[in-house]
Amino acid sequence: GAVVSQHPSWVICKSGTSVKIECRSLDFQATTMFWYRQFPKQSLMLMATSNEGSKATYEQGVEKDKFLINHASLTLSTLTVTSAHPEDSSFYICSAEVWGKGPTTEAFFGQGTRLTVV
Amino acid sequence: GEDVEQSLFLSVREGDSSVINCTYTDSSSTYLYWYKQEPGAGLQLLTYIFSNMDMKQDQRLTVLLNKKDKHLSLRIADTQTGDSAIYFCAEGSSASKIIFGSGTRLSIRP
């Protein structure tokens, strides 16, 4: 199946700094990628939809100036958490949209990034 | 709004069957999914079922769907230590419309 690689797997940063997380499709091109956030013992919540060559679409309640998304190529989307605060500590996971064998698209997920802001 | 609920923990003995249950609210979902997340890894699609099906079997995995009650279950036969993971139930219509449950942590005891 399609492989999605996310980097880094974990990161610790100081409060006030920015952190960039990469999501790469390794063996296919992904026009659309998705960024999710997962709090402990909670479900994955969609943050935004990343579209290659255009602006990302953010879900309600997600600050676009805080969570900057860039999808500059068909194999890479980045999420930058700007001016990180401890409440931004979470597990961030990306997925790429692929047309599968069925009538609709499938999602392939990266391994996730655990961000800890101290 | 749309919601998917599942219990947080399940513990089973090695060799027994595991049954993970899930309820959902959006009756218009095309697909119901089961994802597996191992420590340090991303989500792996285990199996999925079309909303117009009642059952799907794939080797040790059996998915049952009760559309009337909006209830989905995943049965893992002959549970092994390698099955230890978090299992996410999800509903959706495409890659862009997937609603996840909070995940059930399956632990295997000897």
Looking only at Cα atoms, what is the longest distance across chain A? 45
Q: What is the mean pLDDT of chain A?
A: 90
Read off the pLDDT band of A89 (50, 70, 90). Answer: very high
Taking CA atoms, what residue in A is nearest to B47? A106
B95-110 mean pLDDT: 89
**Predicted pLDDT at A14:** 97
CA distance A115 to chain B (A): 13
Please state, in angstroms and rounded to a whole number, the distance separating the CA atoms of residues B5 and B25.
Answer: 9
Residue B22 contacts A where some CB pair is shorter than 8 Å: no
pLDDT of A1 above 70: no
Residue A52 contacts B where some CB pair is shorter than 8 Å: no
The token pair at A108 is 């392939």
- CA proximity to A107, closest of B42, B87, B25: B42
Read off the pLDDT band of A102 (50, 70, 90). Answer: low
